[in-house]
């Protein structure tokens, strides 16, 4: 393993910000840590970089314990959230900084700066002042600077956080292509699930300093581990129920579950496509409370008439009922996930 | 951290403690009864009372004159603003001796006012008060005006959009933001005037005497060390109190304010009222600040063929062992050495104070560093003589003694100038450099140094000017064959005769020119975020 965290814990004034985290990153792997703000994901990066000492536990790089190894000797790269370009140096000076620190000769520095600026799509920008760059350009320079000394592990802290949406969506594709081309090992953190799913080979969801789930983007999306992960991913249709056989008793009535589901009192996730609208006299009677246009579909918010939590359904634009309409709801077992109990309350 | 602490312990705490002990200890027994004895003397009580009320009056007068100036310099754009800004700062770095001399030339016997209207103020308290305003104008303009210029005018606009009148918006938004800076400036002015020495020594005559002057008199003329020690303690306590208040207001000032670039808030005056304000400020600057300097220069030339200047080069006047002109060389050498010491010690202290993990102790040290500004320089000077005179540290005959004493006064300026700039360096920039492979030393050189280089030069300039003008301590420890400029000026003024008077004016002019030159260089280097001075 290139990077291993063993029971890594960081406490700020007694409060654990990182709480016994174990995480492995293999060579050439792109791992994305996903979590809401305050979940400890930036602290995780700082602990690996050597900027934040651990209260207990270990960080290993290439199997070697990094305790006592200062940040500048760890050979990892970190791209900061707001880039932190050196304002008094030009673009070339920023990119060459790490090379100078490693004693690379001047001609070789210039060559490598040129290479990197080509790579990030800013050819010939070496003499430009960093203050004159747009947000997207700064992001590219920060990336080039972090890549320049060929770190064995590149860490990205909210790499696209401050950019506008369209730029973000374009850059995330570029980054993914670039990293697979270079074979870079990447550990990134973000609060944006779209970014994480688009970038990562593996997604790690964090909550309150602990790892809530780890898996490929598809696994995490299809089978959120618990209610927290499901809600963090944006799913609203989570309800308590008692599973017996291939059905569950919920406030929404009997809901079918996939074969082989865990039995007993569980949380259930019903993905919006699994909420089928039928005639008002069939299934669960609901009133349409609101509808929001989502581009490819319409999200319809339904209030069951006999009480119970609201439901969200995804409808094609033309078939979507209007606000105040009464509809019936049936559930599709294939879109229903029986969740684990949350690991920590 | 260890170096500045050791420096202050050896060259500040120890000499002061030594002199207090010398005065208050008899056969190894503390004589605290002397404190009440001294306080019971009516002339001492008179000195205490005068010191306090003249400091209060000076502070009030300075605020009255300088606050409109602070506003004008912060918010108005007018031709010649840069030059004028530099000009109003000149008095602050001027040696107190020169300030005294300049006012003597203006309001004293045979001075300009005497010539024109027969008005003499040199035996009145007004001369002292005016000289204090002259000296401290820049403190208010820099401290208050600096902040005023950076306050975001949109805050006031936001208040007005919510229905506040122009005056109400100013009162509820700008004034509270400004109040801590005004308080800090007022306390600094109070501190400087409370401990005023050179000015009062020259202008006060036999009638008026501050604590500091009295300490000097008791120490060097009457040799009454116990009284001097008690007075030193009193001054120490008073200054400590003022500094504690000051530290508190500075902390208040650091509360998050919306600051913008000063160049964004200044504009040309509009309407008759604003032009009148600008005009009034300009007139007050000319009359109060520039006129005394001009008179000083004029008096120094008031003899045919630069006679006063030429006389400076002759060594047979009997006042000194050497030609007065040699004092220039001495002063420059001492000031350079003092600057190096002050920058090294102050820089280390500022770096230590910037560390994010700085604890209570370190933050307390911040306030302690200011103490030399207020503790009797006379005491420090005399303390040097009696405490650094035996092995392992026998410096009494070493030339380094003078720069050491002068550096003590320079360090607070270095710290105050460097600290805001160092604190403004984003810690994550340092981290970014570390992650890219820079060792802590490399980080300092590659990230901190380029950002603080200008502040460092400014700090050095201030330390240089302050060292050059240091009088209270130097007058004790400078050897007769190696006088500094301020010491030579004071000595010349102490002698009768037009020739001595003229030479004092000439030397003062030279000293002023050197200080002004140093300051003009500094003004070119001004950073956006300067310290308090």
pLDDT digits (tens, 9 = 90+) for B296-344: 787 777 766 666 676 666 665 555 556 667 777 778 888 888 888 888 8
Distance of CA B504 to CAs B92, B101, B402, B489, B518, Å?
A: 20, 8, 22, 5, 21
Say yes or no to pLDDT of B189 above 90.
no
Q: Say which of B431, B437, B440 has its CB closest to residue A51.
A: B431
- What pLDDT score does B388 carry? 65
CB-CB under 8 Å, A70 with B434:
yes
Choose the most confident range, by mean pLDDT, from A112-121, B12-21, B139-148: A112-121
Which residue on chain B is closest to A81 by alpha carbon?
Answer: B428
Say yes or no to pLDDT of B284 above 50.
yes
B251 within 8 A of B402, measured Cβ to Cβ: no
Say yes or no to pLDDT of B258 above 60.
no
CB-CB under 8 Å, A145 with B435:
no
Residues 423-462 of chain B with CB under 8 A from chain A are 426, 428-429, 431-440, 442-443, 446-447, 450-451
CB-CB under 8 Å, B437 with A102:
yes
- What pLDDT score does B395 carry? 60
Distance of CA A50 to CAs A33, A41, B308, B372, B507, Å?
A: 18, 15, 67, 40, 59
CB-CB under 8 Å, A78 with B432:
yes
Sheet holding A264-270, edge to edge: A253-256, A247-250, A238-244, A264-270, A336-339
Residues 92-121 of chain A with CB under 8 A from chain B are 97-98, 101-102
Q: Say which of B428, B443, B451 has its CB closest to residue A88.
A: B451
Q: How many helices (H) and strands (E) does chain B have?
A: 30, 4
CB-CB under 8 Å, B438 with A101:
yes
Q: Tokens standing for B248?
A: 């508190």
Residues of B in contact with A73 (CB under 8 A): 437
CB-CB under 8 Å, B451 with A72:
no
CB-CB under 8 Å, B433 with A78:
no
Say yes or no to pLDDT of B531 above 80.
no
Residues of A in contact with B439 (CB under 8 A): 70, 72
Residue A162: strand, helix, or coil: coil
Which residue on chain A is closest to B442 by alpha carbon?
Answer: A101
Which residue on chain A is closest to B426 by alpha carbon?
Answer: A84
Tens-digit pLDDT profile for residues A57-105: 999 999 899 888 888 888 898 888 888 888 878 899 999 988 888 888 9
Q: Tokens standing for A311?
A: 């439901």
Residue of A43, A97, A152 to mutate for B, most B C-beta atoms under 10 A:
A97
Residues of A in contact with B440 (CB under 8 A): 70, 72
CB-CB under 8 Å, A72 with B435:
yes
A237 within 8 A of A313, measured Cβ to Cβ: no
CB-CB under 8 Å, A86 with B435:
no
Domains detected in chain B? 2-530 (1.10.3720.10)
Residue A131 DSSP label: G
CB of A84 less than 8 A from some CB of B: yes
Tens-digit pLDDT profile for residues B199-227: 787 777 777 778 778 877 777 777 777 77
CB-CB under 8 Å, B433 with A80:
no
Sheet holding A284-293, edge to edge: A275-278, A326-331, A284-293, A298-304, A311-315
- What pLDDT score does B70 carry? 84
CB-CB under 8 Å, A88 with B450:
yes
- Report percent pLDDT > 70 for chain B: 77
CB-CB under 8 Å, A84 with B432:
yes
Q: Note the pTM of the prediction, 2 decimals.
A: 0.68
- What pLDDT score does A214 carry? 92
Alpha helices in B267-400 (DSSP H): 271-285, 291-300, 307-311, 326-354, 360-368, 371-374, 377-387
Which residue on chain A is closest to B427 by alpha carbon?
Answer: A84
Which residue on chain B is closest to A144 by alpha carbon?
Answer: B436
- Report percent pLDDT > 90 for chain B: 0
Higher model confidence: residue A127 or residue B19? A127
- What pLDDT score does B390 carry? 63
Residue of A46, A84, A85, A99 to mutate for B, most B C-beta atoms under 10 A:
A84
**CB–CB contacts below 8 A, A to B:** 64
- What pLDDT score does A8 carry? 93
> Using CA atoms, how far apart are residues B173 and B264, in angstroms rounded to an integer?
18
Choose the most confident range, by mean pLDDT, from A69-78, B13-22, B160-169: A69-78
CB of A86 less than 8 A from some CB of B: yes
Which residue on chain A is closest to B429 by alpha carbon?
Answer: A84
Residue A94: closest CA among A137, A142, A49: A142
CB-CB under 8 Å, A102 with B435:
no
Q: How many helices (H) and strands (E) does chain A have?
A: 8, 20
Which residue on chain A is closest to B449 by alpha carbon?
Answer: A88
B18 within 8 A of B383, measured Cβ to Cβ: yes
Tens-digit pLDDT profile for residues B355-389: 655 556 666 666 677 777 767 777 777 777 777 66
> Using CA atoms, how far apart are residues B429 and B179, in angstroms rounded to an integer?
33
Q: Residue A262 CB: number of other CB atoms within 10 A? A: 11
Which residues of chain A are modeled with pLDDT < 70? 341-345
B199 within 8 A of B132, measured Cβ to Cβ: yes
Distance from CA of A199 to the nearest CA of B (A): 23
Say yes or no to pLDDT of B529 above 50.
no
- What pLDDT score does A139 carry? 87
Which residue on chain A is closest to B437 by alpha carbon?
Answer: A72
């Amino acid at each position: 393993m290139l990077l291993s965290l063993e029971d890594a814990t960081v406490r700020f004034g007694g409060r654990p910000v990182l709480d016994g985290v174990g995480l492995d990153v293999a060579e050439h792997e792109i791992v994305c840590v996903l979590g809401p703000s305050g979940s400890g994901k930036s602290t995780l990066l700082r602990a690996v970089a050597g900027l934040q000492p651990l209260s207990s536990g270990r960080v290993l790089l290439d199997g070697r314990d990094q305790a006592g190894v200062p940040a500048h000797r760890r050979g990892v790269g970190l791209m900061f959230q707001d880039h932190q370009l050196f304002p008094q140096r030009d673009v070339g000076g920023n990119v060459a900084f790490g090379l100078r620190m490693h004693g690379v000769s001047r001609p070789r520095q210039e060559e490598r700066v040129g290479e990197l600026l080509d790579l990030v799509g800013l050819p010939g920008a070496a003499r430009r002042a960093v203050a004159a760059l747009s947000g997207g350009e700064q992001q590219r320079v920060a990336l080039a600077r972090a890549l320049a000394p060929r770190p064995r592990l590149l860490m990205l802290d909210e790499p696209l956080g401050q950019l506008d949406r369209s730029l973000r969506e374009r850059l995330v594709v570029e980054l993914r292509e670039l990293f697979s081309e270079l074979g870079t090992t990447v550990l990134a953190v973000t609060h944006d699930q779209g970014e994480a799913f688009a970038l990562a080979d593996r997604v790690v969801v964090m909550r309150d300093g602990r790892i809530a789930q780890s898996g490929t983007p598809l696994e995490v999306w299809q089978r959120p581990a618990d209610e927290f992960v499901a809600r963090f991913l944006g799913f609203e249709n989570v309800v308590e129920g008692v599973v017996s056989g291939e059905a569950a008793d919920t406030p929404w009535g009997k809901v079918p579950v996939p074969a082989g589901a865990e039995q007993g009192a569980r949380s259930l996730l019903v993905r919006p496509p699994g909420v089928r609208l039928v005639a008002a006299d069939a299934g669960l009677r609901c009133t349409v409370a609101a509808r929001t246009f989502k581009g490819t579909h319409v999200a319809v918010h339904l209030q069951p008439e006999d009480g119970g939590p609201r439901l969200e359904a995804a409808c094609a634009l033309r078939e979507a009922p209007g606000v105040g309409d009464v509809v019936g709801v049936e559930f599709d077992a294939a879109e229903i996930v029986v969740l684990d109990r949350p690991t920590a309350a | 951290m260890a170096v500045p602490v050791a420096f202050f312990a050896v060259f500040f705490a120890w000499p002061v403690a030594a002199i207090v002990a010398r005065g208050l200890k008899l056969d190894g027994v503390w004589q605290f009864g002397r404190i009440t004895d001294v306080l019971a003397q009516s002339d001492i009580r008179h000195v205490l009372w005068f010191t306090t009320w003249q400091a209060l009056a000076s502070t009030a007068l300075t605020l009255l004159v300088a606050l409109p100036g602070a506003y004008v310099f912060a918010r108005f754009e007018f031709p010649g603003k840069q030059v004028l800004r530099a000009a109003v700062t000149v008095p602050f770095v001027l040696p107190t001796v020169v300030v005294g001399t300049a006012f003597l030339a203006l309001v004293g016997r045979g001075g300009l006012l005497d010539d024109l209207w027969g008005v003499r103020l040199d035996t009145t308290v007004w001369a002292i008060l005016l000289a204090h305003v002259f000296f401290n104008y820049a403190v208010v303009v820099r401290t208050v005006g600096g902040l005023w210029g950076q306050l975001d005018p949109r805050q006031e606009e936001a208040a007005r959009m919510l229905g506040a009148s122009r005056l109400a918006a100013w009162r509820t938004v700008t004034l509270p933001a400004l109040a801590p800076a005004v308080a800090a400036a007022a306390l600094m002015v109070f501190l400087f005037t409370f401990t005023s020495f050179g000015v009062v020594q020259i202008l006060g005559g036999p009638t008026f005497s501050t604590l500091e002057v009295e300490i000097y008199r008791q120490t060097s003329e009457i040799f009454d060390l116990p009284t001097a020690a008690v007075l030193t303690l009193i001054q120490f306590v008073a200054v400590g109190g003022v500094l504690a208040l000051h530290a508190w207001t500075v902390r208040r000032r650091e509360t998050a304010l919306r600051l913008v670039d000063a160049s964004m808030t200044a504009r040309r005056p509009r309407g008759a009222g604003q032009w009148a304000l600008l005009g009034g400020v300009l007139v007050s600057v000319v009359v109060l600040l520039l006129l005394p300097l001009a008179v000083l220069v004029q008096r120094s030339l008031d003899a045919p063929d630069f006679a006063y200047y030429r006389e400076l080069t002759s060594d047979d006047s009997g006042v000194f062992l050497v030609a007065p002109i040699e004092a220039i060389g001495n002063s420059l050498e001492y000031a350079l050495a003092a600057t190096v010491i002050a920058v090294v010690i102050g820089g280390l202290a500022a770096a230590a104070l910037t560390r994010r993990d700085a604890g209570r102790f370190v933050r307390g040290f911040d306030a302690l560093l200011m103490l030399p500004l207020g503790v009797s320089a006379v005491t420090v000077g005399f303390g040097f003589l009696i405490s650094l005179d035996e092995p392992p540290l026998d410096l009494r005959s070493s030339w380094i003694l003078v720069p050491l004493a002068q550096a003590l006064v320079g360090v607070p300026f270095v710290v105050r100038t460097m600290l805001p700039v160092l604190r403004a360096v984003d810690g994550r920039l340092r981290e970014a450099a570390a992650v890219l492979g820079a060792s802590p030393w490399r980080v300092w050189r590659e990230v901190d140094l380029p950002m603080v280089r200008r502040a460092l030069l400014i700090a050095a300039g201030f330390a240089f000017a302050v060292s050059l003008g240091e009088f209270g301590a130097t007058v004790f420890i400078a050897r007769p064959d190696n006088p500094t400029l301020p010491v030579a000026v004071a000595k010349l003024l102490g002698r009768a005769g037009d020739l001595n008077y003229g030479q004092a004016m000439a030397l003062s002019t030279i000293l002023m020119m050197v200080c002004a030159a140093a300051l003009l260089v500094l003004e070119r280097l001004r950073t956006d975020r300067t310290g308090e001075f």
